[in-house]
Structures are given as C-alpha cells and as structure tokens.
Amino acid sequence: MFTEKRVSNPTGLCNSESVPEKLPRPLENAQIVAGTDTARRLAVVVRRFPLQPPTPPGEDYFAEPARMMAGDGWQIEFLSGRPALTSLIRRRYDVVHGHSHFRPALLAGILARRAVFTSHSYDFPQENWKRQVLVWLMNRFDRVVALSPHEREVYLAAGVSEPKIVVLPLAVNVSFFTAGNGARFRSRWNIRGDVPLILFVANLRPIKNPDIVARAFRYVRRSLPDARLAIVGQNFMATTAVHGDGVVFTDWLPAEALRDALATADVAVNSSRHESFSLSTFEAMAASRPVCLPDLPSFRSLIGDTVLYHTPTDAEGLAGNILRYLREPELRRAHVEGNRKLVARFDLPNVLEQYRSLYRSLLED
C-alpha cells in the first residue's frame, strides 16, 4: 500500500482529448511515498500533475506506471512546476522519467543517475541548432521511449542512439471501454436508435482538422440524410464544425459518457494533421468501432491495414470511407475483429508490465 501527499483526486473523469470547463490548479510538487527509507526511488518529471484533463481510469500515462512501482515498494515523487529542477539537483533518485519538452524533464538525462525520456511528440525544431541541442539532450538519457515504430525511425534519422530507443505505447483500459451503454447516450442527445451515428472525439484545434470532418459529414448526408455527427471535446478555435444540420456538439464528457458514445457509434473518425499515438483512436477500437483515420505514418506503423485511410485534408475521401463502413458490413466486421486483437497489445496490464521491466532494467545496466 502507499499513501499520497499533496495529490488531490480529480473531480471527475473524462476522455483524454476533452477538457472540463474548470480544472484543478496544477500542483507544484507531489509525492507518492511507499516502502522504507532504503526503497528504490523513482521521480516522474512533468509540466503539471495530475494530468489534465483527467483521463479514463488507468490511462494517466504519467501516474499509472509510477503507482505500479509504488505497489512494488518503490518511493515515488512527481516533480512539476518550478521546484522540479531544484529537486533533481538536490535529491538522489534511482530512476527519473521525464515527460515532454519541459525544461527540467529534458535536463533529467544530465542530472539523474538513470533516466528515461518520453517526448509525446516526435516533431523536431525547424532551426538546425535547436534540433541538434534536442538530439544531444535525448542522447544523455539511458532510454528514450517512442510511442510507435515510426517514431523510432524518426529518432534514428535525427541521430538518437539506437540502443537507447524503446517502443512503448500508451496504455488503453480495454475492459473499461467494452462496457458502454449506447442507448443511454442516444437518449441523452435525442438521437434515434435507427440512424447512423458518426463520432469525432477531439479538442477542436487547427491540427485536428475539424472543418474537414464537418465537410465530410455534409457529403455523407447527401447519401444518408438521417445520419448524425457527434463531436466530443471542447472548441478551442473559431470553427463552424460544431453547427449544422445533424451535428450534436456535446462539449467535454465524463469518461462514462464517452464510453456510452463509443458503444453506439457506427463509425469513429479522425482527420488530424499529426498524431503521435491518439488514445481516442484505440479507445474506439476497444469499444469495437470501425475507425476512419488520416494516412499518417504513425498510424500505419501501429495499425496496418485494418482501418480505412484518407489524406488528412480530403473531406470527400473521408466521406467515402465512412459510407464504405456503413454499407459494407463484412469489411466492418473484419476490421473490428482485427483491431480488437491489436488493441489487446496496448491493454493496461500489458503496458504497465513493460514499464516495470523498463525501470528495473535500468538498475541492472
């Protein structure tokens, strides 16, 4: 067992790509203490803790691996905000895991005895000197986590040392997303049970191409006038995607409500310009939904050919793929079954065990 200090429980659960209207204030520093004074010590360096927005159960990719290690008797600290760098300098940790391009996280490879880095975005700076500095810093870590095989190739091409790179996906709570109540979602949002429902889960930002999804939906409505589009997530841009005939904009939803939406959607869609992993995509797969995705190398390397791809800005191509799933039940069933097997590899217990092996391996180097 372990006790938590200065860690407030999230006030609710929500899907990983939506944001509640009011968020708890970010914590400057937080600790999970376990074991004895001689226990191994793991520090997780993040910009803010807890992860915002709050995630579905088990999918906080900052906290869950650390909590698992606490269960193994390790002492755990979450370092965030301004005190993080001071803690790294003054305290001695057995393993430090730095997340994202947060300065203390990037410096952990220099300051810590053993360190892991996860970028959560494989984009490198355009300026050559910044790119070189980032690669140099990444090579100071003992391990660099790539979320996909494609991300691994990007790191290799940039000059990150091959032995340091480990492909380790984000965890999906598969059992949670297999238990939704679709009828409840349709009742809540006045969607008839006999009409096709297309689901788009994303914070509405330019990189997510919400206008492409909205345009594709208008093409679909020319063939299926009763079809509905449900958009789940907050609107952070000036877009008309949330308006129009047949569109239901739910804003942020708790995790249980997102699960209900996935349980009743006929097709889930994504049209982003860039994705490192996209938890919402794999949550849809866990809920046995067929998925239309942008043709991105990260998705190709993770999934293969059990989804229908379109160019991210091709609204007609996306519409055509949506209609294929609605009209070709055999294709739909084949892809759903293939993705059910695929997402099992990303299931929470499997990914957590990979993290356990990763952290322990650093102590053996």
Q: What is the CATH number of the domain that holds 108?
A: 3.40.50.2000
**Rounded to an integer, what distance in angstroms lies between the CA atom of residue 32 and that of residue 9?**
13
**Residues 100, 147 within the same domain:** yes
**Residues 200, 334 within the same domain:** yes
**Residues 26, 95 within the same domain:** yes
Q: Around 32, how many Cα atoms within 13 Å sit in the side-chain half-sphere?
A: 25
* Single-letter amino acid code for the residue at 211: D
- Buried b / exposed e along 212-244 (16+ C-beta atoms within 10 A): bbbbbbebbbeebeebbbbbbbbeeeebebbee
**Residues 208, 337 within the same domain:** yes
**Residues 113, 147 within the same domain:** yes
Residue 238 near residue 248, CB atoms below 8 Å: no
Question: What parts of the chain have a pLDDT lower than 70?
Answer: 1-38, 49-54
Query: What percent of the chain is helix, strand and coil (3-state, nearest 5)?
Result: 40, 20, 40
**Residues 205, 309 within the same domain:** yes
Tens of pLDDT along 122-172?
Answer: 888 889 999 999 999 999 999 999 999 999 999 999 999 999 999 999 999
Residue 276 near residue 298, CB atoms below 8 Å: yes
Among 236, 270, 272, CA closest to 252? 236
| pLDDT at residue number 23 | 29
Which residues, in sequence order, are bridge partners of residue 78?
Answer: 30, 44
Domain extent, residue 72, equals 3-171+347-364
Q: Is the dihedral of CA 309, 311, 316, 319 positive or negative?
A: positive
**Residues 165, 187 within the same domain:** no
pTM of the entire structure?
Answer: 0.87
**Residues 257, 358 within the same domain:** no
21: its two tokens: 């209207």
**Residues 217, 278 within the same domain:** yes
Residue 233 near residue 272, CB atoms below 8 Å: no
**Residues 142, 245 within the same domain:** no
**Residues 21, 139 within the same domain:** yes
193 contacts: CB under 8 Å, gap ≥ 6: 183, 186
Q: E-assigned strands of 134-245? A: 143-146, 165-167, 197-201, 228-232
Number of domains in the chain: 2
Which residues, in sequence order, are bridge partners of residue 362?
Answer: none
Q: In what order do the strands lie in the sheet with 267-269?
A: 247-251, 228-232, 197-201, 267-269, 291-294, 308-310
Which residues, in sequence order, are bridge partners of residue 335?
Answer: none
**Residues 112, 143 within the same domain:** yes
Q: Among residues of the chain, what percentage have pLDDT more than 90?
A: 76
